[in-house]
Chain A
Amino acid sequence: MKKENDPGKPDAGHETAHQSRQKYGMVIDLDKCTGCGTCMVACAAENNVAVRADQTDKERTITWMNLYKITNGKKFPHTEVSYFPRPCMHCDHHPPCVSVCVASATKLDFNTGIVSQIYTRCIGCRYCQAACPYGARYFNWWDVFPQDKGMDRYLSPDVSPRMRGVVEKCTFCHHRLMRAKSQAYAEDRRELEEREYVTACTEACPVEAITFGDLNNPKHRVSQLIKHPYAFRLLERLGTEPKVYYLSSRDWVRKLADNFLPGEYEPVVNRTWAADEWSTKPGRDEF
């Protein structure tokens, strides 16, 4: 009998079947990202992410969407800075966190590609946190929404707040997918339009650095963007197959996305399709 949480082996005809399934993913253009943090705030507000009065202990705060500031390590005037928004990577096929979960509380949905977390089943052993190389999983060290303080009135009704002692993570705003599906169902549609389901961070980004959609759907922009020569994924060589892609025209940024032995990193050399000042060139988004 196939277990509920068993990612298992792909069924017969998997390849063709998979193509008809959704595989939601994200492309974040690091050349556009200004590091404003709107994505973090939107994510926290949308998903009832716990915020405490004192957020200084960064190893215990919860930021489903976390923003890293990276630099090229050079001295002024050659210093360059980039910001690295990091949601859950929603790793494909064999996510490091899913197979280790002791109580089947996290699951990769092969129909959407979303790695979900069942809060009411999580026992808080934190093995998934230990296994995730991205630090994308967060434990609830405190009870954050005490009812007597009135904090519960600020909660989004679509997302259940988490209790103390469980692990939580970015869900690609899964409730938005549910809402969009319900709407489509009411309108007798089976397929969602491209912009019908996007995450809160995608919607909130003021410079539209984040693109969200179905990586399997050739009509969706993300499926084209991931073929871009400047597209890369975080820690790709570990084999986690993240569904979050990044774009950057800067070699040092791409190089910082993974570990490379000396001489291993190969810069993108075929730039004939775009000028060096690609990031500001008009029309680049039409690639």
Chain B
Amino acid sequence: MDSPLLPYGVKRCTPGAFFLWTLPWLALLAWGGLAAVLCLWKGLNQTHMSNVFAFALWIVFDLAIIGLGAGAFFTGFLTYIVGRKELKSIINTAVVIGFICYSGAIAMLGIDIGQPIRGWFIFWHANIHSMLVEVSFCITCYLIVLTIEFVPLILENRQIRKVRELRLVGHNLHEIMAVFAATGTFLSFFHQGSLGGMFGVMYARPFAAREGFYIWPWTFFLFVLSAIACGPCFTILCTKLTEFLSRKKLVPDDAIQFLAKMSGWLLALYMVLKTFDYLGWIYGIVPRAGLTFMDFFNEGPYGVWIIVAEMVFCGFLPAIILLTPAGRKSQGWLIFASLLNCAGIVLNRFLFIIVTPAIPVMPFDRFRSYLPTWQEWGIGMAVVGYGFLVFSLAYRYLPMFPKETELNPLPVE
């Protein structure tokens, strides 16, 4: 039925099977839609956020998916600026993932703020001292860049390509993609960094506060590094999942192996620097605030195990696997390491967003805990559903994997 829309020379499931595949993701979107309507209509009292947990599940989702979506700018940088030609077979995937992550994050933020209609005040009444302003400006600009990077892929749809003008636009955009890759790299560096800076500058919250260089706390640089360390792994995971579901090879091994190796080195570097960061924090900021490391974990549900899991199991372990040629060449170990790497960044963001407010700063205050409501989960899961839906549509109707036909030649009839 939709075969005229499918890319040339590829095999796709039937429209009926595709429709069935989209149903769970549409259900997640419906769940999120209902939750969004309730939150916008009745207010944020629909959540379990509070004056203690001012940032909660949505911000964890936001920061996590923005970190995971960093594969887009980093792969773009490696492909167009550094000139790694083998990555051209995976850059489209990275861009689509980036677009999903960033557009999803911005949509969530629109519901997360108490006065969504005033969202434009961020730009109109911008407080240039706020890291969140830097985040907002860079994310918005970068989403525009990602859209521009996504457009040529959309224009490569078989039917759209028949329109000469659109084909020319797509072709010319391809030609100048290096400019957008460079712009995206610049913008991403600053918003990934300022997302980390947001927490590091909270000098009156000893759990989050960090020293740093000039106006940038160390978290600024660590967030950039952690994002580029895990972003490629998330791109690998999405590719492997697509390969698993479509039961065919979509990306040559050289691209995957290069990304895995880069990820391994960056993760190892990040882990070393993060270790120094923790040591500097434990022996610097924490005692200066009159606290010891264990004071943060006196009680409450969030224990030292999160830091151990973040550093050892989701940090050093995947770094070692990814740096070992045998490790990253084994499909199972590669996926395992990528999963751990991605889990590590989520844990890192969780620590800054949820554990920080859970720990009282005033000695006579008490530890808190937080459980999200179904509305909060709904909006979070809607982004997941949205991601699967957009990715599936892109895979079905666009030549997202340029080497697909080469790797999977159709039998001659």
Binding site for B on A (CB under 8 A): 3, 5-6, 57, 59-60, 68, 70, 84, 96, 99-105, 121-127, 129-135, 137-143, 163-167, 234-235, 237-240, 256-261, 264
Interface stretch (choices B173-181, B201-209, B299-307, B389-397): B201-209
Contact across chains for B114 and A138 when beta carbons are under 8 A apart: no
Contact across chains for B289 and A238 when beta carbons are under 8 A apart: yes
Shortest CB distance B296–A (Å): 11
**Within 8 Å of chain A (Cβ to Cβ): is B115?**
yes
Bound Cα distance from A123 to B295, whole angstroms: 34
Contact across chains for A235 and B361 when beta carbons are under 8 A apart: yes
Known: A59-B51, A123-B119, A124-B113. A99 touches B130 (CB 8 A): yes
| Main secondary structure on B side of the interface with A | loop
Chain A residues lying within 8 Å of B5, measured Cβ to Cβ, are none
Shortest CB distance B163–A (Å): 41
**Within 8 Å of chain A (Cβ to Cβ): is B321?**
no
Nearest A-chain residue to B353, judged by Cβ: A130
Bound Cα distance from A96 to B128, whole angstroms: 15
Contact across chains for B130 and A134 when beta carbons are under 8 A apart: no
Bound Cα distance from A127 to B208, whole angstroms: 13
Contact across chains for B289 and A102 when beta carbons are under 8 A apart: no
Bound Cα distance from A124 to B198, whole angstroms: 16
Chain A residues lying within 8 Å of B409, measured Cβ to Cβ, are none
Contact across chains for A259 and B132 when beta carbons are under 8 A apart: no
Bound Cα distance from A72 to B162, whole angstroms: 80
**Within 8 Å of chain A (Cβ to Cβ): is B363?**
yes
Bound Cα distance from A156 to B7, whole angstroms: 67
Nearest A-chain residue to B112, judged by Cβ: A125
Contact across chains for A130 and B44 when beta carbons are under 8 A apart: no
- Number of A-B pairs whose CB atoms are under 8 Å? 168
Q: Mark B35-51, 1 if CB is under 8 A from A, else 0.
A: 00000000111000111
Complex interface residues of chain B between 351 and 384 (CB less than 8 A to chain A): 356-357, 361-365, 368
Shortest CB distance B71–A (Å): 27
Nearest B-chain residue to A101, judged by Cβ: B127
Chain B residues lying within 8 Å of A163, measured Cβ to Cβ, are 115
Contact across chains for A256 and B361 when beta carbons are under 8 A apart: no
Bound Cα distance from A84 to B362, whole angstroms: 11
Additional pairs, 18, CB under 8 Å, beyond known A100-B131, A133-B362, A261-B292: A57-B50, A59-B52, A68-B362, A96-B202, A96-B203, A100-B132, A100-B201, A103-B124, A121-B125, A126-B114, A130-B54, A132-B204, A135-B52, A139-B51, A140-B114, A164-B43, A165-B113, A238-B203
Known: A59-B52, A258-B363. A125 touches B132 (CB 8 A): yes
Chain A residues lying within 8 Å of B295, measured Cβ to Cβ, are 259
Bound Cα distance from A145 to B364, whole angstroms: 33
Nearest B-chain residue to A57, judged by Cβ: B50
Known: A124-B113, A127-B132, A259-B363. A137 touches B51 (CB 8 A): yes
**Within 8 Å of chain A (Cβ to Cβ): is B161?**
no
Contact across chains for B361 and A130 when beta carbons are under 8 A apart: no
Known: A96-B204, A132-B204, A133-B205. A165 touches B292 (CB 8 A): no
Chain A residues lying within 8 Å of B290, measured Cβ to Cβ, are 237, 258-261, 264
Known: A102-B136, A165-B114. A126 touches B43 (CB 8 A): no
